[in-house]
Amino acid sequence: MAIQTTKDNKKGLDAALELVRKELRDDFVIEEFENEGVKSILVHNAKQGTKKFKVILNGHVDVIAPSQKQSTTFEKNGKLFGRGSYDMKAALAAMTFVFKNTAKKLSHPIAFQVVTDEEIGGFNGVAYQIKQGLRSDFVIVGDCGSDLNIIDKAKGILWLKLHAEGVKAHGAYLWRGENALWKIHNALASLHKIFPVPAKEAWVSTMNLAKIETDNNAFNHVPDGASAYLDFRFTHEEEKEILNKIIKAVSPDVNVEVMFKNAPEYISHSNPYVQLLQKAHADQLGKKAKFLATHAPSDLRHFNEINCLGVQFGPIGAHQHADGEWVDTQSVKDYYKILERFLLSIKNS
């Protein structure tokens, strides 16, 4: 945590990766990846070049830049404070040692994946390793938000550009033109009826209007082109139908362009790995973990794109990306023990 690992601090990111390498290099294979200057590693207990694993533990060392108030790290009243404590360096440290102490006892292949670009999308870390052939039966992402519960679903992302063409005219003679902005306005009004802003947190698909633009810079001119940019966060229940629902809702003279799409995260509670994780949790803490849903996805979404399923599971904490970020130190110890129980419970096959 004392190492500054923001996206622009390459030396800091390298130093954080080296801490993991140093701890694990004597006992395991460490494979290095780099794409567009972004580095990541894959540590495993199998032969060099192995691509398929029973389980992958996943974590990231990069953080959002702290303010001056959060520039130091300290422990107080059972909490470890500092940028990256909850998101997710404490969990990463626990993963490092549970992998070190457990993986050598297993005959089946498991891996520990550490990336440096989760906070900026994960496209050159997790996604790049997947493009190189990485696969797993089950993935545990140690990111923040679960608080020793199990996040079994997260919303997908759909970014759209709406564009409309019109006819130029003088602002005093509207009937001679066709205003592209009104076309965009009408499309947005139709979509807003289907995707209203929720009054409170709810497991529903949502639409954020991020930007509206036109080339027109004059008050007395009818704009002949306009665009709107929308950020949809959709549930797995609506994954197959959401785009068609959007296209059907807008006028045919408004073009709908998909700028970006990522699958939602979802796994059944009956999945055998999920059940083993539930049992490990109950054996350690004497109670079952709750299942939670989150509105923002993790790097797990890249695995879900290729049908490699998993969960988000991390220790207790609060205030990620904000001043006062902390992680509960006892929960980190429990987190280690739960992961250890889980990994040792997987049958060799």
pLDDT value of position 73 = 86
Task: Measure Cα distances from 204 to 149, 157, 193, 229, 263 in Å.
Answer: 21, 13, 14, 20, 15
Model confidence over 229-255: pLDDT tens digits? 999 999 999 999 999 999 999 999 999
Count of CB atoms situated within 10 Å of the CB of 75: 13
Average pLDDT, the chain: 96
DSSP 269-337: TT-HHHHHHHHHHHHHHSSPPPEEEESS--THHHHHTTT--EEE----EE-TTSTT-EEEHHHHHHHHH
pLDDT higher than threshold 90 for residue 68: no
Per-residue confidence at 348, pLDDT binned at 50, 70, 90? low
What proportion of the chain, given as a percentage, has pLDDT over 90? 94
Find out whether 126 and 113 touch, Cβ atoms under 8 Å. yes
Model confidence over 208-233: pLDDT tens digits? 999 999 999 999 999 999 999 999 99
pLDDT higher than threshold 60 for residue 265: yes
Strand 150-154 and strand 265-266: the pairing is antiparallel
pLDDT higher than threshold 70 for residue 193: yes
Model confidence over 287-301: pLDDT tens digits? 999 999 999 899 999
Model confidence over 83-97: pLDDT tens digits? 999 999 999 999 999
pLDDT value of position 174 = 96
State both tokens at 280: 């490990």
pLDDT value of position 69 = 64
pLDDT higher than threshold 50 for residue 156: yes
pLDDT higher than threshold 60 for residue 349: no
Element (H, E) at 264: none
pLDDT value of position 172 = 96
Domain ranges of the chain: 10-154+264-345, 156-262
Reduced to 3 states (helix: H, G, I; strand: E, B; else coil), residue 126 is helix
**Residues 160-183, mean pLDDT to the nearest whole number:** 97
Query: What is the CATH superfamily name and number for domain 10-154+264-345?
Result: Zn peptidases (3.40.630.10)
Q: Report the top-level CATH class of 156-262.
A: alpha beta
pLDDT value of position 70 = 62
DSSP state of 178: B
Positive or negative torsion for Cα 202, 117, 137, 288: negative
pLDDT value of position 24 = 98
**Residues 249-275, mean pLDDT to the nearest whole number:** 96
What proportion of the chain, given as a percentage, has pLDDT over 70? 98
Positive or negative torsion for Cα 76, 82, 86, 88: negative
The residues with which 170 forms a beta bridge, in sequence order, are 221
Strand 52-60 and strand 74-76: the pairing is unpaired
Which residue's structure tokens are 């990463």?
92
Q: How far apart are CA 307 and CA 300, in angstroms?
A: 10
Model confidence over 41-59: pLDDT tens digits? 999 999 999 999 999 999 9
